[in-house]
Amino acid sequence: MDIDDLGNDIEKVLVSEEQIAARLVELATAIDEDYKGKDILLVGVLKGAVMVMADLARAIHSPVTMDWMAVSSYGSGTKSSGVVRILKDLDTDLSDRHVLIVEDIIDSGLTLSWLVQNLRSRGAATVEICTMLRKPEAVKVDIDVKYIGFDVPNEFVIGYGLDYAEKYRNVPFVATLAQHVYS
């Protein structure tokens, strides 16, 4: 899918496909360096992190394993509920594992700060976070996000895994939607 398939749904492209690809190589290089000699367990947060997980995992040179969690966050609207619920849990025992959470976006940080606590309590050796996008609100929460792709403005964005009402996840860039889409 590309911009020509989207009619007039896109308001503005915030991060291009090329920018994403280049940044992922930089993040993967940093991850390879930081985890030298260690086995990494990448934990992707469904469904938004599917694209970043697939591309990041392939950019990393070290051996990785991948597992997935689904937690409730936004539903079909555009506001965070603040309530976190496990919809699908990991299959992996985290004892002494080096866990790297892979996320699409951090906004209020509610989901991630809860997730970090939860995974630490299962005995992981380390728990770090890699997020493709970060919104301004995230700066206020007290969690250490080790790997960040891009800072985006405080607007609702779609693409590269991020949806609006389950649509637009396969848009290869990150963009805001035109007003008509919401009405």
Instruction: Tell me whether residue 32 or residue 110 sits nearer to ligand 5GP (CB atom).
Output: 110
90 secondary structure, DSSP code: -
C-beta pairs of 16-21 under 8 Å, 24+ apart in sequence? 16/173, 17/172, 17/173, 19/150, 20/55, 20/132, 20/149, 20/160, 20/172, 20/173, 20/174, 21/55
Catalytic residue chosen out of the listed positions 107, 144, 151, 163: 107
> Where along the sequence are the contacts to Mg ion (CB under 5 A)?
45, 48, 74, 103-104, 163
When CB distances are held under 5 to 8 angstroms depending on the partner's kind, the choice from Mg ion, ligand 5GP, none that residue 99 binds is: none
107 has catalytic annotation: yes
Least distance (Å) from Mg ion to the CB of residue 60? Answer: 19
Instruction: Tell me whether residue 66 or residue 70 sits nearer to ligand 5GP (CB atom).
Output: 70
The per-type count for the chain, helices as H runs and strands as E runs, is 3, 9
Instruction: Tell me whether residue 34 or residue 163 sits nearer to Mg ion (CB atom).
Output: 163
> Where along the sequence are the contacts to ligand 5GP (CB under 6 A)?
48, 73-74, 80, 103-112, 156-158, 162-164
Instruction: Tell me whether residue 31 or residue 116 sits nearer to ligand 5GP (CB atom).
Output: 116
Least distance (Å) from ligand 5GP to the CB of residue 95? Answer: 26
Rounded CA gap, 94 and 99, in Å? 8
Least distance (Å) from ligand 5GP to the CB of residue 144? Answer: 14
Rounded CA gap, 177 and 127, in Å? 34
Look up residue 129 and give its amino acid.
Answer: I
Rounded CA gap, 15 and 125, in Å? 34
Least distance (Å) from ligand 5GP to the CB of residue 39? Answer: 25
Rounded CA gap, 8 and 112, in Å? 33
As annotated, the active-site residues are 107
